[in-house]
Amino acid sequence: MRVVVQEWERVLVYRDGRFAEELGTGRHRRARRRRRFVRVAVRPRLLVVPGQEVLTADGLSVRVSLTVTARTADPRRWHEAVDDADALVYATVQVALREVVAGRTLDELLAARATLADEVRERVGTAPETVGVVLERVWLRDVMVPAELRHAAAEAATARAQGQAALERARAEVAATRAMANAARMVAEQPALLSLRTLQAVEAGRATVVLTTGAAGPGVPGVVPGGVPGVVEPG
């Protein structure tokens, strides 16, 4: 019979139940009698580990999902080692993921999301190779935190932001109080500064000039805080 092997597969030939040969890509002619042909796909395939509910080291429940790209490197071993090699690889990756997550607190888990997949791959080790499979890539899909934990985290972040804002307001008030105290001390030590400040306020147009009677005599200009604009004639 004629056997055509595609680029993405290999064909195992068994004669009387014993392995005879492995056929590579191309066209082959073999007798059908007393032979059995097994096709094994060797192109990469995707193994998805859906959300696994795991308790972290601090007792919080999270759901973590993982994606793995696997490829059959040894077709004969993949076919003969176990009944379902992909199922064995899936179970190995699942257990490794649970062990890695369970060994971390929630904060550590969220902080190490970029390296979590590499740790899972290291923990899996060479187990897939025993069934002829190579893990080409492992990456983390999702870390799902329960809604109540997300709400608690949002409230904690809001509280930290509010506390920081209150601290900044307090610092500003302290700085303003110190500035006022310094100004009062300077005016007490140098009374002429108050007259200079008054003239600056008049020049800037932020004060009202009136004529009052006093020790300096009538018609002396002055500044009356909150006074009524106009001229007060001598009595």
Residues 55 and 121 in one domain: yes
Are both 9 and 49 inside the same structural domain? no
Q: Assign residue 62 the CATH number of its domain.
A: 3.30.479.30
Residue 228, Cβ density class (10 Å: 0-12 exposed, 13-18 middle, ≥19 buried)? exposed
Same domain? For 97 and 133 the reply is yes
Sort 62 into a burial class: Cβ within 10 Å, 0-12 / 13-18 / 19+.
buried
Q: What is the pTM of this model?
A: 0.61
Residue 201 tokens read as 């306020």
Q: Is residue 81 part of a domain?
A: yes
**214 in any annotated domain:** no
Q: Are residues 51 and 35 in the same domain?
A: no
Position 210 in a domain: no
**Matching residue, tokens 């492992």:** 138
Residues 9, 100, single domain; the answer is no
Domain containing 14 equals: 2-41
- Are residue 104 and residue 68 in the same domain, yes or no? yes
Provide the domain count of the chain: 2
Looking at the fold, whether 102 and 21 belong to one and the same domain comes out as no
Per-residue pLDDT of the chain (235 residues; tens, 9 = 90+): 889 999 999 999 999 999 999 999 999 998 888 999 999 999 999 999 988 888 888 888 888 999 999 999 999 999 999 999 999 999 999 999 999 998 888 888 888 888 888 999 999 988 899 999 999 999 988 888 766 665 666 667 677 777 888 888 888 888 888 888 888 888 787 877 777 777 776 677 655 655 455 444 444 444 444 444 443 334 4
Residues 32 and 49 in one domain: no
Q: Is there a single domain that holds both residue 59 and residue 135?
A: yes
